[in-house]
Homo-oligomer: A and B are copies of this chain.
Amino acid sequence: MRVIGIDPGSNVTGWGVIDGLGQRQQVVEYGTIRLDGKEPLPMRLHQIHAQLVSLIQRLQPHEMAVEEVFVSQNVQSALKLGHARGAAIVAGAQMGLPIAEYTAMQVKKAVVGYGRAEKNQMQEMMRMLLNLDKKPAQDAADGLAIAMCHLNQRQWHQQTLPAAILGLQRGGRA
C-alpha cells in the first residue's frame, strides 16, 4: 500500500510518498514544489498540477491524502489556498486515486500523538519515525506526515474491523 501525502500551498506544496508494509512504514521519496510568486496564477497552478501528475505517474501511489484547511486565515489567503488545493486534488482525481482529507490536527495526533505539535517537532518526528538521514524541509515533512496519518488510519481500520466482526460472532456464541 503506497500513499502520497500532500500539503498544498500557494507558494510551496510539500509532498511525501510512503509504503505501508504491515506495521512498518518506508519512505519512497519526498520533496517540495516551490513556486515563483511573480509567475501568473495559471502558471503556478499548472506547475502544481503537472508536477503532481508526473510524480504520480512515476511513483504509482495507490491513494492520496491531502491536508484539509484550518481556516483561521483571511479571505484572500483562503482563496489562494483553495486554488492550490484544487490543482492538487484534480491531479490525484485525474490519475484515478482515491483521495482522503485530514485536518492538520488529525495529522499531528496520528503522527506525534499531540494535536498542537510545532513545525520543528514535526520535522524531527518524521526524521526519527522514518529513519531519515536528515530533517526533511517543513512542507515535505508535512506531506510525509499526512501520508503516514493516512496509512495509520487504514491500518487501524484493517485491524479493528475484522476484530469487531469476530467480537460479534463470539458474542453470538457465548
Chain A residues with a Cβ under 8 A of chain B: 40-43, 45-46, 49-50, 69, 71, 73-76, 78-87, 89-90, 92-94, 99, 101
Q: Pick from B46, B75, B84: contact of A75, CB below 8 A.
A: B75
Shortest CB-to-CB span from A155 to chain B, Å, is 22
Contact A89 B83 (CB under 8 A): yes
Taking CB atoms, residues of chain B closer than 8 Å to A83 are 82-83, 85-86, 89
Contact A49 B82 (CB under 8 A): no
Taking CB atoms, residues of chain B closer than 8 Å to A73 are 75
Q: Pick from B43, B69, B78, B81: contact of A93, CB below 8 A.
A: B43
17 further A-B pairs in the complex, CB-CB below 8 A; given A42-B89, A80-B82: A42-B92, A45-B86, A45-B89, A45-B93, A46-B94, A78-B82, A79-B81, A81-B82, A82-B82, A82-B86, A83-B83, A83-B86, A83-B89, A84-B86, A87-B87, A87-B90, A90-B90
Closest 9 CB pairs of A and B: A82-B82, A86-B86, A46-B93, A83-B86, A42-B99, A78-B78, A78-B79, A79-B82, A49-B90
